Structure 1
Amino acid sequence: MNGTGAAADGSGGESSESSALRDTASRTFDAFRSGWETEIGDGFPLPTFSPATTRDFRVKSRATKVGDVAVTDLHGASAIRTEGPLNGVEDQVRMYVVQRGSWTLGARLARGEQTVRAGQFLIRHIGRPLHFETVPDTKAKVLVLPAALLTPLLGPRQSITGPADCAEVRLLAAHSNMIYETVAGLGPAGVQAAHSTLIELTKAVARRRVDDAEPQLASALAQAAKDLADSHLADPELSGTMLARELKVSVRNLQRSFAATGEPVTAYIRRRRLEEARLALSTPSGRLSVSELAAYWQFADSSHFIRAFKKRYGRTPTEYARSTVPPEI
């Protein structure tokens, strides 16, 4: 992105296009750094990035801090690499959940280098500063956590790896995503509860089991189940039993966690299926018939679908579809 080209007079020099792209990347990096300092502040300093990284900085991120825990979601269209002197001591546990691309800890070919690939997580004790590097189009969630509470669970290698789609990671991801939406309005008690739940869920990942009867985890369990249900709405097997099995919790405790939200599991699944059917009816082209929609969204038949739709939206599917047709000019 920081290439050179011929100047207008034929002499060597940086093209105006390259200069504009470099300036854009620089502004993007400055905005990223400013946002980090605003949201995270002291205690979680940014590392030193390589000049190549800051010259071609195409990264989207969001970050928040809950006490001594920092959570960051990052999607880098460009590669990211840190460099420079590494001094001092870091006594932290970091968790990396990589959805796409890869994240490498440690300098290339150095002893102790470790790469987390797409679909994996790594929990690792960091005793001294480490460089890291990502490939282009890497998407990951990174948590920085207090070492004292988690290091005893990591074993002699001081690290644990596993699949990113395991039940425990799903719960942790759901809870951390909820924190983004709610942290600004939390009082001291709410911040403490959010922090404690993050720690307990990280422990659950390390232990490979969740105490689903723990009341503190109810909201995270309900959200993880909703996220999972949303990705399986057209699946005929979708049910509370299936969600409980995938999340490795009891059906009773899953139902109890949903009860706290005021909506039973089955009601949530039906509501979301109706919402998706309504969106499909709003599509101007390629619209499915009522019977096709009923079958696709797992209603017993067209009559059941029509009754459920009218009860929720006050109109039949056909009436709703007609109302979305733009008037002819």
Structure 2
Amino acid sequence: MADFHDLTAVPAAQREARLEELVAETHVDMAVRLGRPAESFRASIRRRRIDDVVLVDTACDPCSGRRGPRRAARTGRPYLGVMVVRRGRETVALGEATAELRPGDVVVWRSDRPARFEVHAPQRKQTLIVPVAALADVPGGHRLFRTVVLDGSAPAVRLFTGYLDILSRTLDRLGPAEVATARSAALDLFAAAARHDTAPAPLALMETWIERHLASGEVTPAAIAAAHGMSVRSVYRVFAGAGTTVAAFVRDRRLARARRDLATGDDPIADIALRWGFADASHFTRAFRARYGCTPRDHRAGAGTAGPVAGRQVQAVGAAPESG
């Protein structure tokens, strides 16, 4: 279900305040200023869920915003915003770094960090809101929780931005199982676009090997060491350097695979648990609840997808205008 917002019907004197409210509800809490007289300012926002991830399509006239340290410190559950510029030009400041964004460029911002932006011309953009917990569903996802500007001309980035465009146009027609698959694809493609300069080579190679052997039952530190010509102690050291352990990484990857199977198929839960290396259904249920906050049965029924990801609860206020 989509939430549509259009400032056209909002009285001119209230448009700036209303835009600030909408940015807080759909993106992140920050002070917002209009870049042209309120009487002529236009903006529209469409917000849709992809399971626990959110896709936000925005069209707006020139404006600016600032999120200072105090606002950033009030962030609850942290999340990433992955913003793709489709039309127009925008300047963003993330910490000490400033970047000029053109159509096709991607900026990744953290909800718990100060930031500034300025839209210089009528703009259209898409933002994928990703809770930190969802990053564990892709190999090396914990390293993606950072601010960065991605080169829109890079092949992996173009693949990701092209997929988001297609997803935006087809999402409303997808069934529950297809939405779960779309969510996984969005995270996988984002990870591919963002990880090329984030993962140390040995760790990236081991993560890829683990991913390929998850279903075999042979994913042990000794097997990983043998496959990569290194000692078991070295394997432990590499994972420790990334802030995790072999066991935790393998468990998270198996839970992620099981979560996908629950959403996209109808195999018995006990069969899924066995397939991904859990001793029995009760062991699987305990691990799944600890990781995702709901039982496998509830997740399959859709109970695991409720609740806002970012900002205050959004209320629809009308239909969005054409965003170009």
Same fold per TM (> 0.5)?
no
TM-score (norm 2): 0.43
TM-score (norm 1): 0.43
Considering only CA atoms, is the larger Rg found in Structure 1 or Structure 2?
1
Q: Select the structure with the greater relative contact order (CA < 8 A; seq sep ≥ 6).
A: 2
